[in-house]
Structure 1
Amino acid sequence: MPTAADALALQLVLSDLSTEVIADLVALWRKYSDDPEFAALLLAAFPEIIGPYTQAGALVSAQWYTEQAPDLPYVATPHVDLPAERLSGSVSWALYAPGTATPLERLSGSVKRMIYDASRQTVLHNLQTEYGDPPGGSFDDEPGTRWARYASANACSFCRLMATRGAVYRSKASAERVVGRSIDITNADRRQIAAGYMTRDEALARRATYSSARGARKAGRSVGDRKTGRLRGTRGYGGKYHDHCRCIAVPVRPGTSYEPPDYVEKWEDDYIAATRTVSASGADTGGKSELNAILREMDAIDSRRREGQPADPIEMVDIEVHGRDGAPKSMRVPADSPAARAYTNRNGKGPGAPDPVGKAATRALIGVKTPTQSASPETAGGRGGDKPPADPPTGGKLGAADQPEEPPFAGHTKGYVHPHRAPVWSEAERQQRQRALPVDLQGEQLYQHEIETVERLTDRGEQLEWIPRDDRLPTSDFRWLSREGIEVDTKATKAKYESVGNQLRRSVEKARAARERGSAVRKDNFLVDLGRRQLSPKLEGQLSEYNRRNPENLVQRLWVLSADGRKLTEINLA
């Protein structure tokens, strides 16, 4: 098993090689920089200067690779891929690029990166040779080789952030370059992992291929084709480690693990604190601007620490979760995180106490009950007066590996269509996601879009109390404890005024009809969930005019949840 000490040992050797090649470069500069033909001389001499050192870096890395698994017969070989175009391009850039750095400073950064690139290329080439690419073969097989990014204690904020991800890089390109992931896990997958309902490998396997015909068509692919995910971070495809970067790729072979250095735990705390600060400032808009804001805040936290102003420590707690095999797993999470709250809600006790294991124990702790009555969703979300089914259907098409733990909910299995046209979960996933919610549902079964709305709200730190459905009358969905305890009805709709307005009018009319029959029920407060769509200024303006356009179906307060829960906007009703 590779250790942080092993990674540091290799890094020190590469650092020594970098120092030596820079010394040779400085000597050449001092001797010939005043020569009018210096540019041509440097172009000719540079490959001869850098070549022996990159070969040495590759050779020592190959030996290091072999020593990480002395019991295996495989012997690594050095591999260097530094084309002539890259060498000449680095010289031209160093000599003629604008900026305040001197040409020698620029070229010194480039040669250091080339030394480390030779090491990284050797490790990745040998992993590909030994195990194939993608490592481990099919994503349906056992997890293959991965890479971890080892960064020095004084690394820049970008490298610190990347190093906190652990051994998650699954392809040669993703370990060596900042490119699209072969596959990507979602925030919902991370919630499932945190709750112990799946492993990271299971989540990656689920996302490896296109399962939705609509999603495949949008990407120009077919169902069953392997996916290529979005860019990690914001750097362009092919953007390698930056100049002066001393990060190395650590191989994590099948059956082994990697323990990062102790200081990475401090970086994880910095990242959590930075993301919370960025979120509180309203800069969590996703993409490049959000990443840059997080990196700036991580730098600020590190600067304050160096000046003797350490950040307030983030309280961490240990929780016990268990996966599908019933085996308990210990996880360390922030005390105020959704995972910690879910653990407390499930067990009725604070984090740190052991969690019972086994599926029966899980059901007993969470309080999931067998559905008793039938239900059908209102068009595009919300609820009427129905109940979940008493006699769930049998003989479904669920595979053995995807079998739900509870009787299936007919409202999900019988022709359910997601209001946002998102891929529909399996019934097993719907049950798992519902069990992971940090809200007591009092035995009710929720539709997929309702579960997603609760996930998005609780991930934002909102406190909810679920309102049980009524057999005969329409009801709101929950009491919003963090908003004066008001009763709120949720609607999952398209990001169009017509869709939202129709849902609001229909719900208000149903509540009014119930009052005419002697009921006291009211539906005055609404939360509209747009899913991953943004709330446009146009739609916000249209919604602000809703009461003026609908004087017979007024609402008191209206919120819009958008951008996959990153934005919560209260509409200023006219």
Structure 2
Amino acid sequence: MAVPDWVKLEQHRQDLWHLSNRARRDLRGFLYQVRDLPVAEVRDLLTEVIPDLAGPYLTSSGDLAATWYEDLRQAVSARGTFHVQGQTVGVQRSQSNAVARWAVAPLIDGDTDGVLSRLGGAVQRMIFDSARGVIEGNTRRDPVRVGFQRMARPGCCAFCGMLASRGAVYRTEGSAGGVVGRGSTRTGIDASGRRLAGGVGGGIKARGSAELDHKYHDDCRCIVMPVFVGTELASIAAAEAEQFDQAYQDSREVRRDGAVDVKATLAQWRKDHDVK
């Protein structure tokens, strides 16, 4: 009996989380070896270690996403020859440096667990982002009409639920070269609901030729799913997005000028659904 696509989706999420937990284990082992060193020295060591430690997990994450994409493509009998590409980009030195500087702050008070929490969340995001990038990259290259959709978990935070309500984002020439959706092209907020510098508020969906600015926070379990247009999976994915969209509509707060107040909407969503 064939495994349903939704089961494969959740298995993909669990596989990525398993990789993240293994990375956390490696980080824990390293931290407890260096925890008594000066904070500045731990920071410098982390800058060097993070790329080497996280790199193999990012590669595995990308390979998992590429395999999943290939499986889904075969399941929908996509036509034409297409070679799915995996992720080859590792952790950049600038990224490693920024994470290390931010993560060691709790060590000033001797809080090794606090450092591990920060590092674990950051590396988990890298691992999931590697898989997300593979899906997004292949949807852009695939000659078949295919898009991708942010798939959040039930009970996710308000930020993820709001973005999941966008539905499938099509980025191929076969989809008229546009992004499907409504509203502004950015939320203009970060994971905590604060407005980003230069951000644009007033909507969660985009329509036209602008690309959506996807945001993910540390410890976010949202994954990106390829959505092949016209398939049963696409219909199911659309229904999933509609549920999040209904939650958004129920919690939406509008300013006096008629634009959506994103920060207030997130606050109302948290209150309505008792989530973060």
TM-score (norm 1): 0.37
CA distance in 1, matches of 2:182, 2:45: 52
Q: Find the partner of 1:76 among 71, 80, 84.
A: 84
Residue-by-residue CA offset, 1:325-376 (whole Å, 9 max, x unaligned): xxxxxxxxxxxxxxxxxxxxxxxxxxxxxxxxxxxxxxxxxxxxxxxxxxxx
C-alpha spacing 1:126/1:86, structure 2 compared with 1 (3 Å): same
Tell whether the 8 Å contact from 1:7 to 1:150 is kept in structure 2 after alignment.
no
Q: Find the partner of 2:19 among 5, 13, 17.
A: 17
Alignment of 1:385-396 (within 5 A): none
Corresponding position of 1:544: none
Alignment of 1:275-424 (within 5 A): 275=252, 278-279=253-254, 285-286=258-259, 290-303=261-274
CA distance in 2, matches of 1:240, 1:268: 17
C-alpha spacing 1:267/1:253, structure 2 compared with 1 (3 Å): closer
1:6 paired with 2:8, answer yes
Q: How many residues align?
A: 234
Residue-by-residue CA offset, 1:454-504 (whole Å, 9 max, x unaligned): xxxxxxxxxxxxxxxxxxxxxxxxxxxxxxxxxxxxxxxxxxxxxxxxxxx
The residue type equivalent to 1:272 in the other structure is: Q
Corresponding position of 1:498: none
- Tell me how far 1:35 sits from its aligned partner: 1.7
CA distance in 2, matches of 1:150, 1:43: 32
C-alpha spacing 1:269/1:253, structure 2 compared with 1 (3 Å): closer
C-alpha spacing 1:9/1:90, structure 2 compared with 1 (3 Å): same
Corresponding position of 1:520: none
Tell whether the 8 Å contact from 2:65 to 2:86 is kept in structure 1 after alignment.
yes
Residue-by-residue CA offset, 1:102-154 (whole Å, 9 max, x unaligned): 332222111010000110111122222323xxxx7xxxxxxx32211111123
Residue-by-residue CA offset, 1:198-218 (whole Å, 9 max, x unaligned): xxxxxxxxxxxxxxxxxxxxx
Which has a greater percent of helix? Answer: 2
CA distance in 1, matches of 2:103, 2:9: 30
Corresponding position of 2:228: 253
CA distance in 2, matches of 1:40, 1:112: 21
CA distance in 2, matches of 1:147, 1:185: 13
Q: Find the partner of 2:62 among 58, 61, 85.
A: 58
Tell whether the 8 Å contact from 2:44 to 2:100 is kept in structure 1 after alignment.
no
C-alpha spacing 1:80/1:301, structure 2 compared with 1 (3 Å): farther
Tell whether the 8 Å contact from 2:51 to 2:92 is kept in structure 1 after alignment.
no
Corresponding position of 1:271: 248
CA distance in 2, matches of 1:21, 1:76: 26
- Tell me how far 1:266 sits from its aligned partner: 4.9
CA distance in 2, matches of 1:95, 1:74: 44
- Tell me how far 1:285 sits from its aligned partner: 4.8
- Tell me how far 1:84 sits from its aligned partner: 2.2
CA distance in 1, matches of 2:222, 2:125: 10
C-alpha spacing 1:94/1:51, structure 2 compared with 1 (3 Å): same
- SS of equivalent residue, structure 1 residue 249: strand
- SS of equivalent residue, structure 1 residue 49: helix
CA distance in 2, matches of 1:266, 1:170: 20
Alignment of 1:448-463 (within 5 A): none
CA distance in 1, matches of 2:264, 2:5: 32
Alignment of 1:74-153 (within 5 A): 74-81=82-89, 82-96=91-105, 102-131=114-143, 144-153=145-154
CA distance in 2, matches of 1:42, 1:66: 35
Residue-by-residue CA offset, 1:4-47 (whole Å, 9 max, x unaligned): 33321211100111111011111111121112332222222111
Tell whether the 8 Å contact from 2:170 to 2:180 is kept in structure 1 after alignment.
no
Corresponding position of 1:231: 185
Tell whether the 8 Å contact from 1:17 to 1:53 is kept in structure 2 after alignment.
yes
CA distance in 1, matches of 2:22, 2:220: 17
Alignment of 1:161-200 (within 5 A): 161-167=162-168, 169-171=169-171
CA distance in 2, matches of 1:265, 1:3: 19
The residue type equivalent to 1:76 in the other structure is: V
- SS of equivalent residue, structure 1 residue 234: coil
- Tell me how far 1:49 sits from its aligned partner: 0.9
The residue type equivalent to 1:252 in the other structure is: V
User: Identity of aligned pairs, percent?
Assistant: 25
TM-score (norm 2): 0.73
The residue type equivalent to 2:115 in the other structure is: P
- Tell me how far 1:78 sits from its aligned partner: 1.3
C-alpha spacing 1:272/1:85, structure 2 compared with 1 (3 Å): same
CA distance in 1, matches of 2:163, 2:270: 14
Q: CA RMSD in A?
A: 3.2
CA distance in 1, matches of 2:239, 2:215: 26
- Tell me how far 1:297 sits from its aligned partner: 0.7
CA distance in 2, matches of 1:95, 1:154: 31
CA distance in 1, matches of 2:257, 2:265: 9
CA distance in 1, matches of 2:31, 2:18: 20
Could you say which structure has the larger radius of gyration?
Answer: 1
Larger RCO: 1 or 2 (CA < 8 Å, sep 6+): 2
- SS of equivalent residue, structure 1 residue 69: helix
- SS of equivalent residue, structure 1 residue 148: strand
Alignment of 1:554-573 (within 5 A): none
CA distance in 2, matches of 1:255, 1:48: 42
